[in-house]
Structure 1
């Protein structure tokens, strides 16, 4: 056992894992919104306790093991030093622990009623995927673009090669009778201020990349943004494009509670989570990744994670039944996302090479992303109604579609104000309501439909 790890009972590691995607889709057909935490602890006993508490929550749940930041960037010597010193990491160091330790964490908890997903954040994930295969953990997430551009300086073409190799190796789990599942992270680029059409496009492109390298069970992410109606339009576009383009029927959509600057008040945090839950229900999405009242301050405790899971489950149960929106009409988000996807796919027959060329030429361009391989000409802003708009499209293939992108100047003060827009809106809404958050099913109107100037 590695230094710093408390002993666990030695076991074989539990039952053979089920198809994560099929499990989520089955729960959705039964009327449940599957809710999931973003939970990770370096101590194996604490990690096991977190999984057990997630399983026991009053909600339809799946488990999460989130990895620490050293493991994500391959700084394994730093992991070893921290464990020897008994220091806590900000996640679970799956590469540095022996296979038996992780088996003990999962034993008796992971089974056909409770699948577990590993979440990380690496553009160089070879060691991580090797650890997953050793322990038969068959569900994880990421992508060649979304785990490269925002988080480091790994060249994009290197990340694409890494993810192609790891995806193909991961797909070989099927030879052991285990169905591998990959979730795109592309619907969350930078977490904020990326217009919804590009979030949708990158999520679909990453799913196509996974399928092209042997994966048959996928989920596609979309991160809650700044306006509920715009978000519903975006998820409808995402679902339509999945039906049109994905070569597998085993797919589902996962909504992420807002990934940017979070409300500082407990009430504001719950209001924002309520709105994310309603987005998931209204759009017919099958899974929701929650955030907690502690997001603006520190790493959440197990208890705070469980409170968020159960709050979201209550909101989902009391919300009016939803379902995928009609796709008969071409929405603005659908048209833009389709143009972005087609603009990439026409660059090269190999989708990985096409992604590299797209960023090199500016056919994909993430606003405010400082990675050297990002073109850096696209800009966005939040308008007076709270919608994300293009301030400039650079060389994105959106001419004639993004009619509102008219070279609007974005100042540093305006950008800072936009980055805190959601936090301010929901903290203010919580104070104005004078009520406790919706933890018992009370009907609280969604925030974001009324005017809030980005400069406020």
Structure 2
């Protein structure tokens, strides 16, 4: 893949600009290991997969919540962590681990899940990494009880520090996580709106290279419509920003069978390729049970790459109002304040943004959703959202049993598929 130099260059930024230009789907694992030798091996294996890939450093849970003393205790005791502890290892250690692996042909992104990410961003910048992800809403509401106001302030400070890399001639890249709120049962218009709003939040801090996320949901036609809506709003609201769309393989309860799990990955890849997404975050055959091995991650990358090859374009189909709903949500939020962070805080206080089934204290909790008979994810209760109310047939229909059924809808559908039969050798 040929990369043309520009005035500001970032490994991740340049790689994705070239991939988007060449219409090549980049596939990426969510891989993270605590031992540096294993982490390095995982990155090398990702780079060597039969696919166009970028690498990932997924951080451990203690680092995510800022409990660095617990990381030290675990490292001292030889206790396994569920990710890479970038802060405690320090930049010199991480630079040595990445030496000969990180490069223009293989950029690496740090993934972390932290509502208060300041120290993480300091560590990744000092380690020579120029890409991360998350956001002031998407890494606050689903992950704990940190007040939204505090998270917005922390992400504003971290984002400004990240944007300062541009003064050194480096184009930093950040991916919004807003398209993955709670992973499931959040209707597509809300995912699109929060992804765009987080993209605007970062753009106004001076970050000019962003990706906008969307998580595969329950109906491929609905997903195609949502991805098209996300692209339309991004083109309209992010002028002067280099952006691409990243699709996540389904983030909810995952199939337990091997054929079901890999079938879902393959369908996500076909959806990503068919709708013009530039990047896909994959999941593995082991996702329902444990942390996947390096080999399982590579297998998923290659399954996705094969499925994406020659995938036909997917039209968005019938307009069911996703773009209109998302636009109403975004416009209502931006109408509250010229400061996107302040607007997000006020929007949740007023219920203009309200995530179904989210228990965070700053979320109103007045909305709900359901999966219709044809598999679409729709609003059943809209609270104070500035969008049309659902019709009587869909209002307040989801019971506790129905909620459990909805949560396992995708898992049951894919596990019930007949596995492919091995070909007979003549």
- Other-structure match for 2:218: 226
The answer to whether the 8 Å contact 2:91/2:124 transfers is no
The answer to whether the 8 Å contact 2:228/2:316 transfers is yes
CA distance in structure 2 between the aligned counterparts of 1:357 and 1:269, rounded to whole angstroms = 39
The answer to whether the 8 Å contact 1:21/1:219 transfers is no
- Other-structure match for 1:275: 267
- Other-structure match for 1:312: 304
Q: TM-score, normalised by structure 2?
A: 0.94
CA distance in structure 1 between the aligned counterparts of 2:10 and 2:42, rounded to whole angstroms = 20
Residue range with higher mean Cα deviation, 196-205 or 96-105: 96-105
**Alignment counterpart, residue 294 of structure 1, candidates 269, 286, 291:** 286
1:360 aligns with 2:349: yes
The answer to whether the 8 Å contact 2:95/2:128 transfers is no
1:235 aligns with 2:227: yes
Deviation per CA, 1:55-104: give whole Å up to 9, x if none. Answer: 11110000000000000000111100000011110000000002111001
Structure 1's consecutive aligned runs of 4 or more residues displaced over 6 angstroms after TM superposition are: none
- Other-structure match for 1:54: 46
- Other-structure match for 1:333: 322
SS in 2 for 1:110: coil
SS in 2 for 1:95: helix
Deviation per CA, 1:7-38: give whole Å up to 9, x if none. Answer: xxxxxxxxx98342331131232232100000
CA distance in structure 1 between the aligned counterparts of 2:348 and 2:243, rounded to whole angstroms = 26
CA distance in structure 2 between the aligned counterparts of 1:274 and 1:435, rounded to whole angstroms = 17
CA distance in structure 2 between the aligned counterparts of 1:29 and 1:17, rounded to whole angstroms = 16
The answer to whether the 8 Å contact 1:17/1:110 transfers is no
- Other-structure match for 1:251: 243
SS in 2 for 1:183: strand
1:395 aligns with 2:367: no
CA distance in structure 2 between the aligned counterparts of 1:22 and 1:165, rounded to whole angstroms = 25
**Alignment counterpart, residue 421 of structure 2, candidates 427, 435, 454:** 435
- Other-structure match for 1:411: 399
- Other-structure match for 1:172: 164
Q: Which runs of 5+ in 1 are unaligned?
A: 1-15, 438-456
1:263 aligns with 2:251: no
Report deviation, 1:133: 1.7
CA distance in structure 2 between the aligned counterparts of 1:413 and 1:223, rounded to whole angstroms = 24
CA distance in structure 2 between the aligned counterparts of 1:252 and 1:101, rounded to whole angstroms = 32
Report deviation, 1:319: 2.0
> For the structure 1 residues 396 and 78, does the alpha-carbon distance in structure 2 shift closer, same or farther, using more than 3 Å as the test?
same
Report deviation, 1:318: 3.6
- Other-structure match for 2:4: none
Q: TM-score, normalised by structure 1?
A: 0.88
Query: What is the Cα-based RMSD across aligned positions, in Å?
Result: 1.8
The answer to whether the 8 Å contact 2:225/2:316 transfers is no
Report how many residues are paired.
Answer: 416
**Alignment counterpart, residue 67 of structure 1, candidates 40, 59, 63:** 59
The answer to whether the 8 Å contact 2:193/2:329 transfers is yes
CA distance in structure 2 between the aligned counterparts of 1:409 and 1:70, rounded to whole angstroms = 39
The answer to whether the 8 Å contact 2:225/2:319 transfers is no
Deviation per CA, 1:341-375: give whole Å up to 9, x if none. Answer: 01101011111010000000100000000000000
Deviation per CA, 1:184-236: give whole Å up to 9, x if none. Answer: 00000000000000000000000000001110000000000000000000000
CA distance in structure 1 between the aligned counterparts of 2:365 and 2:374, rounded to whole angstroms = 26
